[in-house]
Amino acid sequence: MGSFDTHDVASPRLSVVVPVKNEVDNVAPLIAEIEAACAPLAPFEIIYVNDGSTDETAQALATLAQTRPYLRVLHHDRSCGQSIAVRTGVLMANGPIIATLDGDGQNDPMFIPRMVEALKQGPHDGGLVQGQRVGRKDTEFKRMQSKIANRIRRSILRDDTRDTGCGLKVFYRHVYMALPFFKALHRFMPALVKREGYVVLLVDVVDRPRLTGASKYGFFDRLWVGIGDLIGVRWLITRRGALPVVVEDKN
């Protein structure tokens, strides 16, 4: 566990947002990994968004927060889905840079510093660093589902990203706030960030098995329910066009 004074807690440089639903056994080990990985980036805050869990996730988070002033816990009164949980965390975040990762432990926090550095050292119009999973540890059926969904998305949006479903993302908060919000936003961020005129950077990240439990989202959540959103995003890109990044001269 890192050390933070009151000023650090109030003024983080990085906010790590983790949406969770019924992940009681994954909470403590993942928080420990985030703390270790992000120690060089301190001061930071960790924001867990409890998306209507019905197990003991809320109690586990409350216990951990008692000894971690940089751990903030937000609750939804009902399950609203991953994109809304991420939005809740970003809206409440104090840091100018946001890192997101899934709460099941499949996303390794050790890649966060590398992605933050890529964003900060990248082009001046960089807006998002998108993780792309290699060595997928999902079942063969789930990998097939993701492959189909990604192929359809790329063919329609041409966003040059092979794996937008990866929960590991690092971006500037002000860039996210400029995006139009809808329920499946987290799966279309590269295309929409590009529409805003920002550069999307890609970083390969090693996938790993979830720590415990089973996936909370299935095939229909990943593809068919998102078909309407996919059409809407395509409309935004082709009919509305890409927006410019505005740069002001400094005296």
Summarised one tens digit per residue, pLDDT across range 104-116 is 999 999 999 999 9
The whole-number pLDDT of residue 164 equals: 77
Q: For the CA atoms of 82, 196, 191, 121, what is the dihedral angle to 10 degrees? A: -90
Question: What's the gap between Cα 211 and its chain centre?
Answer: 18
- Token readout for 187 is 């799966």
The whole-number pLDDT of residue 240 equals: 56
**Distance between CA atoms of residues 27 and 46, nearest Å:** 12
Summarised one tens digit per residue, pLDDT across range 57-86 is 999 999 999 999 999 999 999 999 898 999
The whole-number pLDDT of residue 203 equals: 96
Give the burial string for 49-67 (b: 16+ CB within 10 Å, else e). Answer: bbbbbeeebbebbeebbee
- Token readout for 213 is 């439990």
Non-local (6+) Cβ contacts of 140 within 8 A are: none
User: Mean of the per-residue pLDDT values for the chain?
Assistant: 84
Helix (H) or strand (E) holding 199: strand 199-206
In one-letter notation, the amino acid at residue 107 is N
| E strands, 135-176, in order | 169-172
Q: pLDDT confidence of 162, banded at 50, 70, 90? A: confident
Summarised one tens digit per residue, pLDDT across range 165-214 is 789 999 999 999 999 887 777 788 898 898 888 999 999 999 888 767 66
- Token readout for 157 is 């949006």
Non-local (6+) Cβ contacts of 148 within 8 A are: 223
The whole-number pLDDT of residue 181 equals: 84
CATH number of 11-239: 3.90.550.10
Helix (H) or strand (E) holding 90: helix 82-92
Determine the average pLDDT of the residues in 128-148: 72
The whole-number pLDDT of residue 212 equals: 73
Yes or no: say if 110 and 37 are a contact pair by the CB < 8 Å rule: yes
